[in-house]
Structure 1
């Protein structure tokens, strides 16, 4: 990250900025004092020091409250955003204050469908462990500040990253128990004429990795729903809305629980597997090594 050439002045009244933003948010110095767990006098003094620092009045009295001046409006636009970004940065590094934390980055569908059902096994090995799941995006870097371990469909091939092929995957057809029982005696692809199909938005052709040509040949095929997330696809199938083509890894927990049933007459097909990655530098905490070994253990990957 590039550090700005010009740094803030050493006498920047940070406490005054916090008091100013709180008073502007509430339109009241007394309510700002309650919010900050300070006395009203302390908040007023901090705002006065800030006004002296900028050489402008920031508030005008309005009844029992306060109203921003033009200068106050301009300052609030920057100050509120800056404090929010600073707070977000402090929260981002919060897990690094604890040696009992383990940060795992993985796609959201893998986190929900595969990793979460198994976290109890990992915590049983280390009862005090706190796992942070960073699943809002596909991570493309490992810097030991954002994440300890990364699970991804794309390998990160760098000399400072240890990257190993981890889990294989395949596409399978699934349905809820009642739908599967009704379709059990029907061959592929004729079963598609007897049950509506469920689609993933990114794969508009049902069973795109399977025999899509055969699926198209079935007359009377009905489409029940199209969703953007594969976990929603699993849920729709479990609720008996139709037949879905999904990742075997993601469906594994629901299959074991009996919420979904694999339709064996529909041919499986290969699917991109998953990679497990970590930095080659010294681990932030011994728990990184624990998580690395656990994710590769036979009991975990079976």
Structure 2
């Protein structure tokens, strides 16, 4: 089956995700397959969920009303879990997309995977790791729906000289620190990432040390479901690997018998 032909059920926890992030999430899911079921769960009599109305209409998402019968009890989670199990036993889809930042869905994700279904998770950076690790792939919504930062550091623009200034600048005037222009949710390239990449290369590289970039990406994603080059400000995995130039090296090679080219990577000695 072609990757984009897979059928997915999208189940959204309205209490734990912003309505502003749903369109980017749906666009991301389209890269994995076809959303044949789109449902959202919550108490829509609550004014806090009023912002969802237009979003649901625009994206053809079916709202499942779940009243909060008892304070402190999350009936929404229970309704979503019951529906997920019903869909599972009907064998109607190839996978599930759980959109929430709530760790209460950890066991559900594990159960769906045990039944051979692919599970994609979407949530905020605050999502607990147990839920993240229980998914085949987990994407943070902060990196969706906005342009990735420029992958090359721009040169500073020289300031214009002000002529005929009547008041010289005070020597005691303190310069304001440069504003942090890093978008929210973007991580820095650290030792942990470098070690992860180097270990992945060592695990599958051939005798020459080279391995295809695609194979490395798949292996890292299996070890770390929330791995995504966009988490580090790079739209492509190849760009992120080039940024790790102090520990790895890359090369582009023509694929035999084809017009396409493939990127390979190996550890620097």
Is the TM-score greater than 0.5? Answer: no
Q: TM-score, normalised by structure 1?
A: 0.19
Q: TM-score, normalised by structure 2?
A: 0.20
Name whichever structure is richer in helix by fraction.
1
The structure whose Rg is larger is 1
